[in-house]
Structure 1
């Protein structure tokens, strides 16, 4: 796409206009979300398979982390191998969190039969919450100050150092988390390149992306935007209701398609689904059906992608979700900051540990698709309450730009990330 910017200058001969042509910058792009597209969807299977696959995967991931932290001082045992009470050892397992306020269909039915109205809850943490660690065969209760029950959630795999007492309770002396994965060297760019997440719906935003707003210098900067990612909720932005229904989808489909086509005409555009969009609710969510976008699909720059979504933009790995796993972790812990939760999931090396316990997901069999196999350069979460960003620096030199992208229909705000420096700022269109 060429931008034609005319800036007026006055000479003795009258008004003269200087024409400047700006090329939209291009970078290499690879969709790395294959594991989300091709996940097994055999609904005859139980969810025990995904926990088993997760535990097997993280045993291999935790092995070098355990050796680095504790050397070969202690034996690594399974729960069924615990024999000597009081002997310090290492157990690798999946955390399960007992929460009395956690929703239960059996409890709901019991309450209904007793005709006792129950208040609607959106936060399920109580002081009585406790932790157990489980592997393929057994589980054991955890106690100790080294692990905070309110800073973890069900589904996280870790290594626990401690010992079992006479009552069959495991006292935790230390914890080893998987940690952020080693990051491949980030490429160095000579010029700024920008990506923006969750850009939707306003004509002002469209004019900004097209280079029709601002001075020629400012328009030159806009030409450096190389990709746009909408992190879910695009249909919700065209609805006046809090909950999207069938009539909203039908009424907004043409508007969404026109917007997607207009945006794809000027910049490569990746569209992720979200929990309020017309697609399956179970994670990983497949891309939108192409029939919803008859105009936009004419453009090769328009990409219907999955949720979660992973891609390589000019050598920078970009990974994120539409926000469902992050919000769910905040409901079941005392982690009340989206950036803190993003950091935790990096350290846990898992996009959504509460899948399938409290976030619906497909019953995967052989693999857990939510494992973070490669350390991203940009890690984002959509539909957040407000814009927030931070540069995460890992123990092994990892640099990850964390971005909480706000709900556009509430904030009219987008996030802009500079690939050259990993700096990030917000833009508001209101």
Structure 2
């Protein structure tokens, strides 16, 4: 069968014609000013050791935050009194006396029946049947239903949950209806006012928290560096860009797991959609990946996974088993990043499922995992700041276009969620963590972390402008305000593998928007 493409008599509708003289505009990607902050970098080599006791970390945390709590509580309760009795300040929890109205500062400790403990680890070691997954620490129901659990406060409820306040002198059990409406977890530093009852419990009338710390003005980090170098401090641009934020890519290496990731890559590169969407994509100045880029890349497999491998190969294995290693997910991630990096800079945070340390703060994924992408990284001994490809810590702090950003892979919020039987709002938990000035309040109680001794690195020293938490159930955002005018944009980023959602944050207004990628399957 012959195909005739066109003749001179067919006019303008011919498919065969001379090249067009139309000139299409070239789009340049908006540039961003980026500074990676080493807030959560751990010591290297011999300087990193694990001989410290975790109790030292709690004492250091209390010493760091106590002055801020004391100042707020002193101002709030300066004239507080009942029936002519004025509330007195107590230096230690053991100085509290029965029937005396007073206030005291300490660290919250929550005793909950389903919290992880050493007996559970022993049970797993001997292959005793494991309990159902624990969505909440205070409920015996695996699905997280707190119908039979106690409130977050109230001393001791049906589930046996108890709230205590402790310092270097001892512990004091808290009770009272005021606790039922608040958010409290182990590790938070608070001040409580009330009186000790006949049972020896402290009846709480009110609680004060440290609240948001000082918030640096925009461009303070860049202005400081410019001033040191004797240059102009002006860093503002005429055109503001956008930061793309995604989490939970969950790359498994399976062939059927690539379509949505390819759509995301083509959108970021401006290779899809109409010219208007391509112009929008050119405004994206940086991509931030907030944890769980891989589906199963954790360096420490669970005992259940090890048992499955042992059953498959017919022998019991201990530790690393080379036969179970699958390099396809890391290769896929490396190639995906290498396709994006010539066009845009990337900041990569590790997550719970990624191949790095499991304890917080997780250190950067090693450059050896990225044979194609590591050319865009700075050399290990370089001191000129972050490279075009910044493999950073989790949590991580950075400055983007003058704004201070704090980002995590989601583990601290997920762990706080387990302490709160009646709370499902992730934004409330994120706000509470900022007001506690702690990025990981439940570490080291129920969240693995490095045993800091000189000071707790999870204590917020400066308030961010944007707080990003990855791998959350859904996209949510809100702006909260502090006591002296601080404003923080909270952004909960969902898992891309489950929702196909990418968050774009405007670097001028800090207003986020969502771009959704969907793959339709024929019925």
5 Å-filtered alignment, 1:26-425, equals 26-38=31-43, 41-71=48-78, 74-79=87-92, 82=95, 84-106=97-119, 118-125=131-138, 126-127=149-150, 128=157, 129-148=161-180, 151-186=183-218, 190-198=238-246, 200=249, 202-236=261-295, 247=324, 249-299=326-376, 300-334=387-421, 335-425=423-513
What RMSD, in angstroms, separates the aligned Cα atoms of the two structures? 2.9
Shift, 1:72, TM fit: 7.3
Shift in alpha-carbon separation, 1:76–1:408, aligned structure 2, 3 A:
same
- Larger fraction in strand: 1
| Structure 1 unaligned spans of 5+ | 1-12
CA distance in 1: counterparts of 2:356 and 2:123, whole angstroms? 33
Check the 8 A contact 1:65/1:178 in 2, yes or no. Answer: yes
Distance 1:287 1:270, change over 3 A: same
CA contact (8 A) 2:472 2:492 kept: yes
Whether 1:16 and 2:21 are equivalent positions in the alignment is: yes
- Measure the CA separation in 1 of the matches of 2:482 and 2:43: 31
Cα distance between partner residues in 2 of 1:19 and 1:134:
68
Partner Cα distance (1:107, 1:215) in 2:
56
Deviations 1:214-244 (A, max 9, x none): 33333222222111111111121899xx989
CA distance in structure 1 between the partners assigned to 2:58 and 2:76 by the alignment = 25
Distance in 2 (CA, whole Å) between partners of 1:104 and 1:138 is 21
- C-alpha distance in 1 between matches for 2:118 and 2:194: 35
8 Å Cα contact 2:293-2:354 kept in structure 1 = yes
Partner SS, residue 20 of structure 1: coil
Deviation at 1:359, TM superposition (A): 0.7
Q: 1:421 to 1:81 in 2, by over 3 A?
A: same
TM-score, normalised by the number of residues in structure 1: 0.88
Shift of the 82–361 alpha-carbon distance from structure 1 to 2, 3 Å rule, reads same
* Contact kept? 2:96, 2:102, Cα under 8 Å: no
Give the alignment's TM-score, normalised by structure 2.
Answer: 0.73
